[in-house]
Structure formats: structure tokens, C-alpha cells
Amino acid sequence: MINDLWYKNAVIYCLSVETFMDANGDGIGDFQGLQRRLDYLSGLGVTAIWLMPFQTSPQRDDGYDIADYYNVDPRYGTLGDFVEFTHGAKQRGIRVLIDLVVNHTSDQHPWFQEARSDPDSFYRDWYIWSKKKPANADEGMVFPGVQKTTWTHDEKAKEYYFHRFYNFQPDLNTANPHVQAEILKIMGFWVQLGVSGFRMDAVPFVIAEKGADVTTPKPQYEMLRTFREFLQWRLGDSIILAEANVVPKENLK
């Protein structure tokens, strides 16, 4: 088996922990339940499991609104259960990929709570703010019809914040070096716990220029290079799979 090309021939099985297997009978799937089904998955010929978001979340958008990147949502178990699961998978030659949702956080995330509470907060510049509602606030919604705008006024901050998705999912200011460093730290953390790579959510938005004055956001491709180099340095044969919902000629870039 050629290790560095494992993902080329992998049989990837995507699952939501919540709906898979419930070990403690509370009606919600969990990591202990998933652990019990590893032999079954192995028997199917699965060589990689891709987990949909399972981190701490108010669950207003199927877990894509994350409130703590360094923990497992208590409904699915503990970090200990997660490590048991990745260890069990490794014993069976199954790799684990996880969703990496870093375009935005939940508005319940302590970073956002701190950012909105104090204009001088360290976290203020982790998000995108504007004193007045930008002219293009009613364009570029990911969920048109459901979502009225990409800029919402925050009572506490007394400013508008940018959100490409729902208004409870404020966008991270991914151009901020502190935010980029934090994204690397998040990846490093999960790699340490047995993960072989990430499916990165909403990549074109993660690397786009963000701000009230940006009319045609240019992609910052070097940001992806930074993520990629860091991950390769930490774990040689790890991968990032991009959710890049753009036209094919853009995809190549």
C-alpha cells in the first residue's frame, strides 16, 4: 500500500454521529455507539470515516455553528470517547476525517461574546464589523429566501457584523494572523487525537477578502498553502478536502 496516496483509493464513509448508533439509550447517537459499530464498518470495506460536525454547538445549523472547537458536544460523549473511537478505527486500518468549520463560529462562541461586549477586546478583530450597514448587505446570501442580509446590527456592539450564512453564524476575520494561527492550532489539536485530515467547510468564503468595502472579494490562496504546509509538517500523509462550491475553472486554482 502506498501510504502517501491512501486517499486516492480510500473508501470514505460519511456519517453523522447523532444519527448513527446510540449506546446509552437517550435517543441520540454517540461516540460509544459508533465505536461498537467499527467492526461492521470495517466489514463493509470502509477505509476512512468522515464525521460531520460533532463539536460543542447550540445546534441551530446541524452543528455547523460551533461554540467550542476543542471539545465534543456533550450529547455525543466526551473527548475521551472520541480518542477511544479514533484508536479503535486505527486498529482496524480505518482513518478518520472530520469537518473543519472555520469560516464562522456560533454567536454563542466565547470569542464572539467577548468581541461584541468590548470594542477594545482582543477578539474584536476576530470578526468583521461596520459602523453603518454596507451598501451590498442584501447581496451574496448563501441561503437567499431564508436569509435576508449578510450584515446584522448587534445591539451590544452597536455595530453591524458580517455573516455569509445565518445571522447566528458571524464570519471569522480569516485575514487576521491571530485567527489563522488559531485555525492551525485547531487542526493540530485534532491531529493529535488521531485524525488523518479535514473536510474544510466553505473554502471559497474562508479565503475570500472580507469587509464592508469589499465589492469583489479576491481569493487569498496563500492562506490555503499555510494550512496545507502546517498540516503536512504535523502529519506527513494528512489531507484537506475542500468544499469548494465554485465553477470548475475556478476549482483548479
Q: Which three cell numbers stand for residue 153?
A: 446590527
Q: Kindly name the residue from 81, 209, 243, 250 that is annotated as catalytic.
A: 243
Between strands 48-51 and 12-15, the pairing is parallel
Between strands 68-72 and 95-100, the pairing is unpaired
Between strands 68-72 and 55-56, the pairing is antiparallel
Place of cell 486517499: 7
pLDDT at 169: 98
Q: Which three cell numbers stand for residue 159?
A: 455595530
pLDDT at 205: 93
CATH number for the domain formed by residue range(s) 110-162: 3.90.400.10
Between strands 159-162 and 129-130, the pairing is antiparallel
pLDDT in tens, the chain (253 residues): 455 589 999 999 999 999 999 999 999 999 999 999 999 999 999 999 999 999 999 999 999 999 999 999 999 999 999 999 999 999 999 999 999 999 999 999 999 999 999 999 999 999 999 999 999 899 888 888 889 999 999 999 999 999 999 999 999 999 999 999 999 999 999 999 999 999 999 999 999 999 999 988 888 999 999 999 999 999 999 999 999 888 888 777 7
Q: Kindly name the residue from 201, 213, 237, 250 that is annotated as catalytic.
A: 201
DSSP state of 144: B
Q: What are phi and psi of 107, to 5 degrees?
A: -70, -10
pLDDT at 4: 59
SS3 43: helix
DSSP state of 247: -
DSSP state of 134: -
Shared fold status for 3-103+174-251 and 110-162: no
Q: Confirm whether 243 is a catalytic residue.
A: yes
CA 124 vs CA 29, 113, 117, 162, 239: distances in Å: 36, 9, 9, 13, 31
CATH number for the domain formed by residue range(s) 3-103+174-251: 3.20.20.80
Q: What are phi and psi of 87, to 5 degrees?
A: -65, -45
Q: What is the pTM of this model?
A: 0.95
Q: Where are the domains of the chain?
A: 3-103+174-251, 110-162
Q: Confirm whether 155 is a catalytic residue.
A: no
